Amino acid sequence: MNIFATLKSRIDAVIGQLAAEGKIPAGLDLARVSAEPPRESSHGDVATNAAMVLAKPAGMAPKDLAAMLVERLKTVPEVVDASVAGPGFINLKLQDDIWRDALRDVLTIGVAYGDGKAGQGEPVNVEYVSANPTGPMHVGHARGAVFGDVLARLLAKAGFAVTKEYYINDAGGQVDHVARALRARYLQALGKLSEDDVLGMLQRKEIMYGGDYLVPVAEALKARDGEKWAASTDESIWVPPLREFTVAYMMNVVKDDLKALGVQHDLFSSEKALVDKGKVDDALKFLESAGLTYTGILEPPKGKTPDDWEPRPQLLFKATEFGDEVDRPLKKSDGTWTYFASDIAYHKDKVDRGFNNLVNIWGADHGGYVKRVQAALKALTAGKGKLDVQLCQMVRVLNNGEPVKMSKRAGTFVTMRDLIDEVGKDVVRFIMLTRKNDAPLDFDYAKVKEKTRENPVFYVQYAHARGRSVFRHAAEMFPTADLTDAGLAKADLSRLTDPDEIGVLRTLANWPRTIESAAIAHEPHRLAFYMYELAAQFHGLWNKGNDAVQLRFLQANDQKVSEARLALVRGVGLVIASGLAVFGVEPVEEMR
């Protein structure tokens, strides 16, 4: 049961009663009326803005409407007291049994507690990672991979039908560049070039990629084809097959690294396949038939001078009609499609597959690209499609506050695999969610290995492990007690009376609401904050029991109160496990 959703329905019903009695206007829009935990727990259990958002359409002062609502809300079965705060907010105090019933729900439902129906089965496509297949993934990709994967899990838990997708950019100039770099390493593997020769080519910008990661790719090419591609100087002969070989090899590396991070996509879509199938042509014909393209001359980009700007007629998309700052070119000077044209085709392909709700996870350096793609989606769906682009800011890798050296294999950056090998996938996944995705993140090897409350991974996992240790002791103390979830759901929970125990129950009851609100807002970091708060409350109860024997979870001379507290401990463990499952992190049974 989502108690906050229940209270929202109670508030809506009270408003309906007042309207039926003619005391307020009928037909008020209740969409903005909320029921949520107050900022300060001392203010009550549930706060509502009903009077604040309805006062103007009702033609009343907020405080007057609030006073009218308070009198009616006091008669609601779950409500013990109601009061007006500030300019017209309403705080509600609920019966403690409401929170005890929520604990029974946790014990009955298990880790599925919090699963919701907000999504109503709506298909949503979450596209994330989508790194160019030109080299190993770096820590920035790790953040996008974790954020996208956890957001997809969160949306599924909230009732959406999620497809997790990776878009392979295998048709652009970057894959041609890596093919040329591979040939240099291939010639080196054949003994026809030295390491200095390859580095010289890199310095002269004859090749664009120089990391050691291409050495095993070149060795694999040599093993397959021998000297087949060594003699010809005609790029048209060797660039296409080497490009295909590199993309296939690097995508296997990418998939292997993602697997090590616990990330698995449902679908890999190829840009080259879209182009080869004529889907870019089809998408542009669609826009042309809708009158959304024209040939024109764009103004020079900001910062350009007349000397370095060459105006020319271009095929343009009317992006400004859909919220973009300028219309966008669809063809390059050589007549080939722009990357944006391919992206339009890709998003049309998603729409054609039944997705009108799209989420793209991109690096922060793509921020300037957002509006044009959103404009394209509006054009493709007559405004019905939704595209939320979530940008992931940079990750700085440190060790005791000092920058970590670059990966020798990658040459210019710390790889995702370096990160996983150093601290493990579960730590990587959790830490990546401890800040909002659009804020920079420091990942300090030393900090994430600390066993203190300053390390959120340890602090949350320690709460779960402590709970399991309580049960191991309970099994010895009460060998005949039914300590299963079903058995504990039947415990006398009225024995939970300490204010801090009730506080934990309130937090457990807020889990379904947290899932729903985080899913709708596309903010999975909220779950990390929630789990840290729940862990802090649990550790607080543990410490309180250390100071006062009568408040310990296990009382040898009082099995009934012990069972009630064990129910609470188990509830905390189940909700932490539920949250960690969304994060793709395994809860630990004990910590050494």
Average pLDDT over residues 139-154: 97
Q: Is the pLDDT at 306 greater than 70, yes or no? A: no
In the CATH hierarchy, which top-level class contains the domain 456-583?
Answer: mainly alpha
Tell me the pLDDT tens digit for each residue of 480-508.
999 999 999 999 999 999 999 999 999 99
- Residue 199: pLDDT band with limits 50, 70, 90: very high
pLDDT tens for each residue of 467-487 = 999 999 999 999 999 999 999
* pLDDT score recorded for residue 591: 85
Exposure string of 225-246, with b = 16+ CB inside 10 Å and e = fewer, is eeeebeeeeeeeebbeebbebb
Q: Band of the pLDDT at 519, cuts 50, 70, 90?
A: very high
Q: Do domains 3-94 and 456-583 have the same CATH topology?
A: no
pLDDT at residue 310, rounded to an integer: 74
Edge-to-edge strand ranges of the sheet holding 267-270:
267-270, 161-168, 123-127, 357-363, 386-392
- CATH architecture for the domain at 128-264+393-449: 3-Layer(aba) Sandwich (3.40)
pLDDT grade for 1, boundaries at 50, 70 and 90? low
105 with 113: CB under 8 angstroms? yes
Phi, psi (5° rounding) for residue 108?
-80, -40
In contact, 314 and 329? CB cutoff 8 Å: yes
pLDDT at 409: 72
> Tens digit of pLDDT for each residue in 376-422?
999 999 999 999 999 999 999 999 999 998 776 777 789 999 999 99
Just give the CATH number of 3-94.
3.30.1360.70
Query: What's the CA gap between 494 and 127, in Å, rounded?
Result: 47
Mean per-residue pLDDT for 79-89?
94
- State pTM to two decimals: 0.94
Q: How far apart are CA 79 and CA 525, in angstroms?
A: 32
Q: Where are the domains of the chain?
A: 3-94, 128-264+393-449, 456-583
